[in-house]
Amino acid sequence: MSDYPKFAVIGGGSWATAIVKMLSENLNEIAWYMRNETAIEEIKVNYHNPNYLSSVEFDVDQLLLTNDINKAVSYADYVIFAIPSAFLTPEMESLYVSLEGKVIISAIKGIIPETSMIVGEHFNKTYDIPYDNIAVITGPCHAEEVALERLSYLTIACRNEVHAKVIEDCLSSHYIKVKVTDDIVGTEYAAVLKNIYAIACGMAHGLGYGDNFQALLMSNAIREMKKFIKKVHRMKRNINNSAYLGDLLVTGYSLFSRNRMFGNMIGKGYTVKSAQMEMNMIAEGYYATKSAYELNKNFGAKTPIINAVYDILYNGKDPKKTFRKLTEKLD
């Protein structure tokens, strides 16, 4: 696909690594920015990311590896950001290259803490990127299953049909199926909220609740998600589609889910700090919980699950007692 626009991926974690793998199925060249110089050298020598998805072998001739974000952004027409939401602002402070005319794609499933905005809105308001040049990548899709080339599904949210088609073509393969929607706001909030509900699901498991309760919890979670998103952005959408319900289910139930893992540790008695220290990856739901809770003070949606997770993570409430109260609010 040498005639396609140029892509750059910003980030060195598991999701960024998976996205580079997907793009490498279709593109002759991809710019890949990561801060870790040691990881870059490891990829050049041994053809894999030493820290994430190390089973994935890359053709280094396809990769323009750099630890300078400006080089990567300068190269690309389409820039995919795949770093934790809490780290986006510090990374952008190093960027002096203009984003004008570039298509900005968020693969970040979180809210920017400095502005309390979802990523698309943040780029629109902070960097004047028109919504026609903004896209969002959501699941249901785990990086680990991309690495194994197991059949996976992506949803691309983008208002511009031409940009959406380019992104779809460049990410699709025999193991990646892509669906397109114009619900940028809804799908991005769904990607944020599902991480909170996955933490709740993990907490329930850690506390000893069984499959029956977790099924009830997920049933209530999708209805709670619908109420929240409807308050934020009212439009016609089917909350049972894969970008919403599908992504929620895979994040809530999969053993690959870092948010479920984080919640499970909290349920078993870990403190927030000790759970974060033991995990090698960022659990976006931790940051999302505070942002969603604060945002909902303005929206006023009924969110007992988000409130319970917030009380445990930020108010130090006892998980066992908090979940006992939560069970009385679910149906």
Please indicate, yes or no, whether residues 258 and 229 belong to a single structural domain of this protein: yes
In angstroms, the CA 198 to CA 153 distance is 19
Q: What is the pLDDT of residues 100-157, one digit of tens each?
A: 999 999 999 888 988 888 999 999 999 999 999 999 999 888 899 999 999 999 999 9
Residue 164 lies in a domain: yes
Annotated ligand binding at 183? The verdict is no
Average pLDDT, the chain: 93
* 257, pLDDT greater than 60: yes
Q: What is the pLDDT of residues 79-91, one digit of tens each?
A: 999 998 989 999 9
Full-model pTM: 0.89
Which of 131, 161, 182 is where one domain is finished?
Answer: 182
Residue 241 lies in a domain: yes
3-state secondary structure the chain: CCCCCCEEEECCCHHHHHHHHHHHCCCCCEEEECCCHHHHHHHHHHCCCCCCCCCCCCCHHHEEEECCHHHHHHHCCEEEECCCHHHHHHHHCCCCCCCCCCEEEECCCCEECCCCEEHHHHHHHHHCCCHHHEEEEECCCCHHHHHCCCCEEEEEEECCHHHHHHHHHHHCECCEEEEEECCHHHHHHHHHHHHHHHHHHHHHHHCCCCHHHHHHHHHHHHHHHHHHHHHHCCCCCCCCCHHHHHHHHHHHHCCCCHHHHHHHHHHCCCCHHHHHHHCCCCCHHHHHHHHHHHHHHHHCCCCHHHHHHHHHHHCCCCHHHHHHHHHCCCC
* 1, pLDDT greater than 70: no
Catalytic position from the list 194, 268, 321, 325:
194
From residue 206, how far is each of 129, 199, 210, 280, 290 by CA, in Å?
Answer: 42, 10, 10, 19, 21
Please indicate, yes or no, whether residues 166 and 229 belong to a single structural domain of this protein: no
Classify strands 111-112 and 63-66 as parallel, antiparallel or unpaired: unpaired
Residue 258 lies in a domain: yes
- Residue 180 has phi, psi (to 5 degrees) of -115, 140
Please indicate, yes or no, whether residues 112 and 190 belong to a single structural domain of this protein: no
* 280, pLDDT greater than 80: no
Please indicate, yes or no, whether residues 128 and 159 belong to a single structural domain of this protein: yes
Residue 146 lies in a domain: yes
Please indicate, yes or no, whether residues 201 and 130 belong to a single structural domain of this protein: no
Please indicate, yes or no, whether residues 93 and 195 belong to a single structural domain of this protein: no
- Residue 319 has phi, psi (to 5 degrees) of -60, -40
Please indicate, yes or no, whether residues 166 and 275 belong to a single structural domain of this protein: no
Which of 132, 154, 182 is where one domain is finished?
Answer: 182
Please indicate, yes or no, whether residues 119 and 236 belong to a single structural domain of this protein: no
Q: What is the pLDDT of residues 147-184, one digit of tens each?
A: 999 999 999 999 999 999 999 999 999 999 999 998 88
**Residue 305: CATH number of its domain:** 1.10.1040.10
Annotated ligand binding at 69? The verdict is no
- Is 194 annotated in the active site? yes
**Residue 91: CATH number of its domain:** 3.40.50.720
Please indicate, yes or no, whether residues 64 and 166 belong to a single structural domain of this protein: yes
Please indicate, yes or no, whether residues 224 and 171 belong to a single structural domain of this protein: no
Q: Which domain holds residue 26?
A: 7-182
Neighbouring C-beta atoms of residue 120, cutoff 10 Å = 23
- Residue 171 has what pLDDT? 97
CA Rg, the chain, in Å? 19
- Residue 3 has what pLDDT? 67
Residue 2 lies in a domain: no
Which of 123, 154, 182 is where one domain is finished?
Answer: 182
Residue 137 lies in a domain: yes
Annotated ligand binding at 282? The verdict is yes
Number of domains in the chain: 2
Annotated ligand binding at 35? The verdict is yes
Annotated ligand binding at 109? The verdict is yes
Spacing of C-alpha 38 from chain mean position: 25
- Residue 249 has what pLDDT? 92
Q: What is the pLDDT of residues 173-224, one digit of tens each?
A: 999 999 999 888 899 999 999 999 999 999 999 999 999 999 999 999 999 9
* 322, pLDDT greater than 70: yes
Using CB atoms within 10 A of its CB, is residue 119 exposed (0-12), middle (13-18) or buried (19+)?
A: buried
Residue 1 lies in a domain: no
Please indicate, yes or no, whether residues 247 and 219 belong to a single structural domain of this protein: yes
Residue 292 lies in a domain: yes
Please indicate, yes or no, whether residues 178 and 58 belong to a single structural domain of this protein: yes
